[in-house]
Amino acid sequence: MNDLSPKLTKARQRMLERDLRQRGIRSPRVLRAMERVPRELFVPPDAQAWAYSDQALPIDCGQTISQPYIVALMTESAQLTGAERVLEIGTGCGYQTAILAELAMEVFTVERHEPLAREAQQRLGACGYTNVHFRIGDGSRGWAEHAPFDRILLTAAARQCPPALWDQLADEGILVGPFGSPDQQFLQARRKIDAQCFTTTLTACRFVPLIADSPPASET
């Protein structure tokens, strides 16, 4: 056990109580997943001491790992029961991916930055997750070959929902993500019922932008 481990254990419990339960996260399954997944493995080594602080942290390629509360809120809003096939747009470091893998049947995750995708795949493999499929490419196009998806999570902000993602969401499915301009974004859960969109706004937020029109996708 390294020197940080006792401090991280205490910090994880503080995160669960102060940053999640006290802020309204109620799902026992989500709370258990947030407790099980070692967030310190998904942040840069020099940021491990802040792994369980409720703030976004920088990772490679100019991206971030979202604060724990936002990860938990997005996951809870997806209402996962364990039988879903989930599409994640923006693998990043793989932390949100790991939380989804704990709670869903299958996760299909797309990342446009190849270094992040490769590192996340290695990291999640080392953690023992076997229900995650990886793709490098333009997340705004989704992953049509495996559609429809019961749930879709966006970890980058779009002004509008990309049409391809909405088309790939199954009927009665839920899409969770940040929408709006760089200066004003709102995290929303959008349920699809008979092709109609029913939106719940969860909170104001600030995410890195969703970037489209990257090179053609490739599976890893």
Q: Which residues are catalytic?
A: 66
DSSP code per residue over 112-164 = S-HHHHHHHHHHHHHTT--SEEEEES-GGG--GGG--EEEEEESSBBSS--HH
Question: At 17, phi and psi to the nearest 5?
Answer: -80, -55
- Give the CB-side neighbour count of residue 144, counting CA atoms within 13 A: 8
> Are the beta carbons of 62 and 55 closer than 8 angstroms?
no
Measured CA to CA in angstroms, residue 198 lies from 7, 24, 69, 174, 176 at distances of 43, 22, 23, 9, 12
3-state SS assignment for residue 23:
helix
Taking the CB of residue 186, how many other CB atoms lie within 10 A of it? Answer: 15
Provide the β-strand partners of residue 65: 57
